[in-house]
C-alpha cells in the first residue's frame, strides 16, 4: 500500500482563520493543541466541566464554557476528553448540539473504529492524532520543529473536509515534520498493538533481566544503574530515531557490536514465540475482541486487581528500595488502590480468575 504523506505546503491555514475552534477538555494533549492553535492565530474556546482543568485553562487565558455551549458556538469541535468520560459526555453534552455545519475532530480513532460511539451522518469527522505526548506537542511547536501526525477522514458531508483537515493539522504543528494519512481503524490498531505487544514484551524482558542478575548476586542498585538509570537506553533510542535500528550500533563500542550481533541470533526461537503471540494480539485487536473486552470491564475492578498485584510484587518492593538507597525521589502518581476483599472477589468468577492469574504471574518476580 502506498503511503500518503502531507507537509506544510499542502495546507492553507486561511481556510480556518475566521472560524471558532472549540476544544473539549483541557488535559495535557488538549492544552497543547489549544495553545498551538491560538498561537497560529485561530480563535479557540474551551469546553470543560472539571474545576481543576477550568482553573488551568483560565490561567492560560482561555474563555471557558460548558461543553454544550462550546459545541454550540464552535464550528470545529476537538473532542479531547479522557477515555473514562468520552462516551457519556459525547452522548449527553456533545451530540445533541451538532448540526451539519459542524466538524468533529478526534485525536484517537478507537471510539469510531470499534463502534463505541455513534456519530451523526451529516457532519465531517476527522482524525488528527499527534504522535507525541502533549508536552512534546507544545515544546516542538514553540521550537518550530513540529512532530509526526496521523490524519484521516472517517466521514465527510462537505466538499472541504480534506482542506480543513490539513489546515487544522498545520495549526497545531502537525505538518512540520510529516502527516501520514490513515483510517481511524489503522491508527487505533497501530496504537493498541504498540501498547499490548511491543511495550508489554519489552517490560517482560527488562524485568526478567533484572531478576536473573539479582538472583546471580549482583547488587540491585548496580543493575538498575546499568540497565536503566545510566540513560544508555535513552541514548540508544535517540540514535535509532536519527539513523535507524540497525545503524545505531555504530555509536557503540566494537565489543558491544560483536556481543549484540553474535548473541542476538540465540533469541531466534524466543523471537518466533513472540511473533506467534503478537499475531494473536493483532488479530484480537483487529476483530474487535479487545475493544469488547475493555468496554465490558473498564468500569469494574478487574484493572484495579491487576495493578494492585503489579504495584505490590517483590519486584516493586525491590525497586522502591533501590531508588531509596540511591536517594532518588519518586513522585506519588497514584494513591493506593482499594480492592475488594477476597470474599467479594470470590463471588465474581471473572474477578476470581483475574485474581488467581495475576497472583501466580507476579509471584515469579
* Domain end call among 167, 182, 197: 182
- Reported as a pLDDT band with limits 50, 70 and 90, residue 282 is very high
Q: Residue 48 sits in a domain of what CATH number?
A: 3.40.50.720
Encode pLDDT of 158-216 as tens digits: 889 999 999 999 999 999 999 999 999 999 999 999 999 999 999 889 989 999 999 99
Q: Do 105 and 168 touch, CB atoms closer than 8 A?
A: yes
Overall domain count for the chain? 2
Residue 197 sits in the same domain as residue 158: no
Short-list 55, 52, 288, 334, CA closest to 192? 288
Provide mean pLDDT across the span 287-295. 91
Q: Which of 134, 156, 182 is the last residue of a domain?
A: 182
* Same-domain pairing of 165 and 218: no
The candidate with the shortest Cα–Cα distance to 257, out of 268, 244, 271, 247, is 247
Regarding whether 129 and 211 lie in a shared domain, the answer is no
Same domain assignment for residues 218 and 290: yes
Q: State the virtual CA torsion across 346, 351, 354, 360 in degrees, nearest 10.
A: -20
Q: What are phi and psi of 3, to 5 degrees?
A: -85, 130
Which of 140, 160, 182 is the endpoint of a domain? Answer: 182
Using CA atoms, how far residue 318 sits from 220, 246, 313, in Å, is: 8, 34, 9
* 103-106, strands of its sheet edge to edge: 5-6, 178-181, 148-155, 124-130, 103-106, 76-79, 20-24, 43-47, 64-65
Both 306 and 193 in a single domain? yes
Phi and psi, residue 46, nearest 5°: -115, 130
φ/ψ (deg, to 5) at 277: -65, -45
| CA torsion, ordered 111, 107, 199, 244, to nearest 10 deg | 140
| Number of neighbours of residue 276 by Cβ within 10 angstroms | 10
Domain hosting residue 340, numbered range: 188-362
Mean pLDDT, rounded, for 51-80: 92
Work out the pLDDT band at 63, boundaries 50, 70, 90: confident
Amino acid at each position: 500500500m502506498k503511503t500518503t504523506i502531507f507537509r506544510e505546503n499542502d495546507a492553507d491555514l486561511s481556510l480556518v482563520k475566521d472560524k471558532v475552534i472549540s476544544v473539549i477538555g483541557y488535559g495535557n494533549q488538549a492544552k497543547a493543541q489549544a495553545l498551538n492553535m491560538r498561537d497560529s492565530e485561530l480563535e479557540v474556546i474551551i469546553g470543560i466541566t472539571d474545576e481543576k482543568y477550568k482553573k488551568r485553562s483560565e490561567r492560560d487565558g482561555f474563555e471557558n464554557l460548558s461543553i454544550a455551549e462550546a459545541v454550540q458556538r464552535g464550528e470545529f469541535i476537538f473532542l479531547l476528553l479522557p477515555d473514562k468520560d468520552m462516551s457519556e459526555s459525547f452522548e449527553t453534552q456533545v451530540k445533541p448540539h451538532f448540526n451539519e455545519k459542524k466538524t468533529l475532530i478526534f485525536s484517537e480513532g478507537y471510539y469510531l473504529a470499534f463502534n463505541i460511539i455513534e456519530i451523526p451522518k451529516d457532519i465531517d469527522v476527522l482524525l488528527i492524532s499527534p504522535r507525541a505526548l502533549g508536552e512534546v506537542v507544545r515544546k516542538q511547536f514553540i521550537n518550530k520543529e513540529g512532530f509526526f501526525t496521523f490524519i484521516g477522514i472517517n466521514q465527510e458531508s462537505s466538499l472541504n473536509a480534506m482542506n480543513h483537515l490539513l489546515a487544522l493539522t498545520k495549526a497545531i504543528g502537525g505538518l512540520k515534520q510529516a502527516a501520514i494519512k490513515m483510517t481511524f481503524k489503522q491508527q487505533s490498531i497501530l496504537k493498541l498493538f504498540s501498547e499490548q505487544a511491543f511495550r508489554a514484551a519489552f517490560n517482560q524482558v527488562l524485568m526478567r533481566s533484572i531478576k536473573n542478575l539479582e538472583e546471580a548476586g549482583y547488587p540491585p542498585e548496580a543493575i538498575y544503574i546499568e540497565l536503566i538509570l545510566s540513560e544508555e537506553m535513552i541514548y540508544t533510542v535517540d540514535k535509532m530515531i536519527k539513523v535507524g535500528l540497525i545503524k545505531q550500533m555504530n555509536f557503540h563500542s566494537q565489543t558491544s557490536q560483536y556481543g549484540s550481533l553474535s548473541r542476538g541470533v540465540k533469541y531466534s526461537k524466543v523471537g518466533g514465540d513472540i511473533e506467534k503471540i503478537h499475531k494473536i494480539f493483532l488479530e484480537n485487536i483487529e476483530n474487535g475482541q479487545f475493544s469488547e473486552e475493555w468496554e465490558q470491564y473498564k468500569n469494574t475492578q478487574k484493572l484495579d486487581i491487576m495493578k494492585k498485584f503489579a504495584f505490590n510484587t517483590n519486584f516493586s518492593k525491590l525497586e522502591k528500595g533501590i531508588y531509596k538507597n540511591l536517594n532518588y525521589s519518586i513522585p506519588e502518581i497514584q494513591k493506593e488502590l482499594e480492592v475488594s476483599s477476597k470474599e467479594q472477589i470470590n463471588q465474581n468468577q471473572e474477578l476470581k480468575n483475574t485474581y488467581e492469574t495475576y497472583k501466580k504471574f507476579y509471584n515469579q518476580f
